[in-house]
Amino acid sequence: MTEELDLLAGELALGVLDGAERAEALRLRLSDPEFAAAVERWESVLAPLSEAASAADPADLWQRVEPRLTDRGASATVSDLSLRRSVARWRAGTVAAASVAAALALVMVTRPAPAPVGPPQVATQTARAIAVAQLSGEEEGPVLTVRYEPGDGALAIRAENVQAGAALAPELWVIPDGAAPQSLGQIAADGTSRIVVPIDLRRLMQDGAVLAITIEKQSATPHPAPSSSPVAVGRMATI
């Protein structure tokens, strides 16, 4: 991993990214295992510092840090500029982090009803190709199979060996190329779940699209962004 990507992982762990940079970092966390591991490493390193910083007065701390940066004057190096950029983001992040709240609600995932059996129908138009995907993680880890019907936007997901603790549930994401992950909703940790993809997201459900599963707090509505690394990843293929 490059030094620039490692820095991006640290900034995501700090919670100081926004806009396009945050979208790209979230996409990398879901699609790149090495980047996801770097974010988790930064989170474990920064956790003790966050606890210590919570007892300090941010305004007083900034007043002591800022003169050290400005006193360097014209002799500032590239490393200094990178440091100033990171400190500025950290300062903004202390305000943004204070507004974060998590809403907990029980998600209800309905199982699909069996299709009625009837006489064969004569096709009146060309059938749309369906898309399938298999999502997997580490060896002996979770395995999920996904079937997407573009006609009605229905997703059928079969989950096996997905581990989710109390008040947690698997959440399915589609990851557009170069954009932020989009939640398709939470599913059951075992058995078959059915999701109807929102109309504005159906354009993303195409051949080659990356799907991922993360473990999130249970919620009746999709989360705006993943809060953890993926436990299973796969690509869609039309058949």
The tokens describing 42, both together, are 């930064």
Domain boundary pick from 97, 122, 144: 97
CATH number at 167 reads 2.60.40
The number of beta carbons lying within 10 Å of the beta carbon of residue 149 is 15
Whether 107 has a pLDDT exceeding 70, the answer reads: no
Q: Which residue, among 113, 140, 133, has the nearest Cα to 173 in the 3D structure?
A: 133
Domain ranges, residue 36? 3-97
Same domain, yes or no, for 210 and 143?
yes
Distance CA(8)–CA(18), nearest Å, equals 12
Output the DSSP codes for 187-220. --SSEEEEEE--GGGGGG-STT-EEEEEEEE--S
**44 vs 61, higher pLDDT:** 44
CA-based R_g, the chain, Å: 22
Same domain, yes or no, for 233 and 149?
yes
Predicted local distance difference test score (pLDDT) of residue 87? 42
Same domain, yes or no, for 91 and 147?
no
Question: Is residue 51 very low, low, confident or very high in pLDDT (cuts 50, 70, 90)?
Answer: low
Same domain, yes or no, for 143 and 233?
yes
The answer to whether residue 225 is domain-embedded is yes
Distance CA(89)–CA(111), nearest Å, equals 45
- Give the residue carrying structure tokens 């992040």: 93
| Residues paired with 174 in a beta bridge | 182, 211
> How many separate domains does the chain show?
2
Question: Which bin fits 215, alpha (ψ -120 to 50), beta or left (φ > 0)?
Answer: beta
Distance CA(100)–CA(123), nearest Å, equals 52
Task: Write out the E strands in 84-181.
Answer: 131-136, 143-149, 154-160, 168-175
Q: Phi, psi at residue 175, to the nearest 5°?
A: -115, 100
The answer to whether residue 69 is domain-embedded is yes
**118 vs 149, higher pLDDT:** 149
**28 vs 87, higher pLDDT:** 28
Beta strand 182-186 pairing with 232-235: unpaired
**235 vs 99, higher pLDDT:** 235
**197 vs 87, higher pLDDT:** 197
Cα first-last separation, the chain: 35
The number of beta carbons lying within 10 Å of the beta carbon of residue 80 is 12
Average pLDDT in the chain? 74
Same domain, yes or no, for 82 and 160?
no
The tokens describing 229, both together, are 């690394």
pLDDT in tens, 135-174: 988 777 889 999 999 999 999 999 998 988 889 999 999 9
Residues 110-138 have a mean pLDDT of: 61
Range in 87-96, 117-126, 151-160, 178-187 the model is least confident about: 87-96
